[in-house]
Structures are given as C-alpha cells and as structure tokens.
Amino acid sequence: MYDGGKIITGIIIGLALLTFPIWYNLGAAPKPPDIKLPVKEKQCVQPKAYMRTKHMQVLDLWRDSVVRVAQRSYVAFNGVKYDMSLQNTCMSADCHAKKTEFCDQCHNYTGVVPYCWDCHIEPKEKPKEKPKEKH
Amino acid sequence: MGMNRRKFLKIAGTSTLASAVKPAADALAGEKLGFTIPETLLHLFHKPTGFTPGEALTAKRWAMVVNVKNCPEGCKACTEVCHKVHNVPDAAKMESPRHEIKWIWHAKYDHVFPGQKHKHIEEALKKIPFVVLCNHCENPACVRVCPTKATFKRKDDGVVLMDMHRCIGCRFCMAACPFGARSFNWVDPRRFIKEEEQNREFPTRMKGVVEKCNFCAERLAKGQIPACVETCREATKKKGKEPALVFGDLEDPDSEVRQLLRSHYSLRRKPELGTNPNVYYIV
C-alpha cells in the first residue's frame, strides 16, 4: 500500500471525528425533560399514561372531528365535556399555559419538531422566560 | 411456503372477521350507543369522535343574500371584522399587493358580473361596491380538483371548508375557482399581524397554504352568525338601513334568506358554470 501510514492516520482521525458526539457525551446523561404540570387542572382528557404515548393521535382525532364534521365537543374518559381545541382548551390559561414548560420540554428532548404552532397561536409568555428556540 | 387446509381456513376466517369490523365500526360511529368505541379504533378507521355542541347553529344549506343597495357608502365593516377575527394579514402592510389575502372584499359590478355588463347599465350600479366572498357552491370546482381533499364540502350544511393541515399548496383550487375567492400565502402571514391584534382563539395560517372564507364555521359552532353579517346589521342600523348581508338556511322556507329571495329579483355570480353558488345578490 502506498502512503499506508498517511491513509491509516487519516482513517483514525476520521473515525475519531465521526464518533466525537458519542464519546464526548459518554457517561453524562442528557438533562431529562422538566415538565411543569398545570397547577389548577389535575386531570387531562385521558389518563396520564395514555396522553403520554397517544396525545398525537388524540389531537389528530380532534382535528378531523372539528374541521371536517363540526363535532367540537369531546367527552373525556371520565365523562367531563371539553371543547376540542389545542389553542383554547389544551393550552388555555388553566392548563398547559406555557409551551416552553410543557410541550417543548419533551419535544426538544426527543428531537421532534411538530408544526402545530406554525398556525395555532401559543399562549403568551413573558419574553425573559422564553428560551431560544432549539430547532 | 406450502399451505395446508387448516392454515388456509384459519387465514380465511380471520380475514372475514377483520373485514366485518370496518362496516360495523362505520355503522357504530354515528350512532348514540350505551357504550363508547375505543379511541384507537376510531383513529384506525378515521372516524370522528365527540358530538356537535348543543348551542351550534345548524342548517341543511347555509346561504347568504347580499342586498347590494343597502350597503352604506364607503362602509368596509364586514371586511374589517372578518379579517380581524380570522387573523388575515393587512394587505397594506405586505411587500407586494400580489401577496394579499382576501376572505371578503368589495369589487365593481363589472368584475362581479362580467357576463352582465354593458355600456348602458344603471348609473347606481356603476358606483356601488359589491361584497364578494366564497360562494360556498353546491357543486364546488375547488373541491373536485383538490388532490388531498384538503378542501371539502361539509355534508350536513353545504359549507365549503379548508383543512389547513392537509393543504399542500398546489393551488389547483385557485385555478378552478371561477370567483377568485381563494388566496395563497406566498409569505408567512404572521409577520403582518401584530401580536396585540391577533384573535388568540383562532389560528393563523402558515406560508404555503391556500385560504378562503369559511362562512364562520367556528362561530356557527358557538351559535353565532357570521361576523360579517353581525357587523353589517349594526353598521346599517346606524345609517337607518336594512342589513346588506343576510344569512340563513336556504332549505328552510321561513328563513330570512328565503323570504328575501321570494320577494326580490336576485342574481348569482356566473351561474352558467354550473357550480350553483349559494351567495345571492339583490341589486
């Protein structure tokens, strides 16, 4: 092999750079999401475990029901009636009033970028509380 | 892979069962039952959940009558309130007039009824601004061409709506609509709506989707008539006139729209195209 030394050194450096994120973060667990649950409301429209894994399906179902057939009232698992609305119900002042303290926590942690808020208006937060967008 | 009789029967049986679930779920979805269908099933078969709120205004066919001569001179109340409650950006602030978004606006007689214009038209008609908006056609061309079913006609009341989540911004509907009732978001509209002027109960749109009048579907659901009609009532009352915009159920013989249509000669825009518009003009 011509220039074997150079090639092997190059490969080693290349591999080292490529795997940099892995060994740089080795041992240090990333900061887990720090979710702040609403103070006033204690119960969501479905049990916590269901919401944790299936909130996107719930929202999708809500979206189709509201937009396409005008069925806007939702009966939760415990019989409570809700207006199906991300902006006006989920993120109302009494519930998940701060996007940065609820939605963004897990979405940033898992690296998902939902485009809900391209159209839906998120609740107002004081500017100093609002960290820079991560995406 | 070989298949014996036992295995074949198993698969056939399971498939039959599975195919029986869908019509059953379809039938159950609309009914009021003593039990609820699990949400995961609803989602799987794209069936809606919930119910129509009790206070909602319902009709078989929503329609509007524009009584053109009641429109007070220089009044733009309907346009202003509509664009405010629906977070439509102010065209004056946008970089190009071609970026304008319109839900309801005023146009000249020539442009509203191009087939009816001639040199010797009634003087008054030349001056009056005609209120124009989506006609919520019975046979909407926009719905036929939409490749994603983002725009659709609501079965129950005939309102033609947009599902912004599904719009891919292909603008076929804009080409198909003979009334120019649709606008495309060439730029992010939020940049032109001041935060303090936003209606925080209604979403904005994003760059790359088409939008139009929704006959105030979100207000109908709360038992309110469309914002333009409500405002028009107040604005015309101040001037001592009858309202220029009237909204109601076309299928109900006693509704206000039917009464007006019964007693006045009315026009519709481009009826020869066969889209069957639901906005009527009394001139």
Q: Are the Cβ atoms of B46 and A64 closer than 8 angstroms?
A: yes
pLDDT, average across residues B223-232: 96
In a domain, A132, yes or no: no
CB pairs under 8 A between A and B: 81
**Of B9-23, B187-201, B219-233, minimum mean pLDDT range:** B9-23
Q: What domain range includes position A79?
A: 35-124
Q: What domain range includes position B219?
A: 62-282
Q: What mean pLDDT value characterizes chain B?
A: 91
ipTM entry: 0.82
The confidence score (pLDDT) of residue B264 equals 96
Give the predicted TM-score (pTM) of the model: 0.82
DSSP for chain A, written as a single string = -TTHHHHHHHHHHHHHHHTHHHHHSTT-PPPPP-----SS----SS-HHHHHHHHHHHHHHHHHHHHHH---EEE-TTS-EEE--IIIIITSTTSS--GGGTHHHHHHHHT----HHHHSPPPP--GGG-PPP--
User: How far apart (Å, rounded) are the C-alpha atoms in residues A85 and B194?
Assistant: 23
In a domain, B270, yes or no: yes
Tell me: the pLDDT tens digits for B31-84?
555 566 777 787 777 788 888 988 999 999 999 999 999 999 889 999 999 999
In a domain, B66, yes or no: yes
Tell me: the pLDDT tens digits for B241-282?
999 999 999 999 999 999 999 999 999 999 999 999 999 999
Choose from A54, A56, A72, A125 for mutation: most chain B CBs within 10 A. Answer: A72
Residues B13, B71 within the same domain: no
Residues B121, B30 within the same domain: no
Residues B30, B128 within the same domain: no
Tell me: the pLDDT tens digits for B162-179?
999 999 999 999 999 999
The confidence score (pLDDT) of residue A79 equals 87
Q: Are the Cβ atoms of B201 and A67 closer than 8 angstroms?
A: no
In a domain, A97, yes or no: yes
Tell me: the pLDDT tens digits for A11-48?
999 999 999 988 888 877 778 888 899 988 889 999 99
- Measured in angstroms, the CA of A11 and the nearest CA of chain B are apart by 44
Tell me: the pLDDT tens digits for B135-159?
999 999 999 999 999 999 999 999 9
Residues B34, B102 within the same domain: no
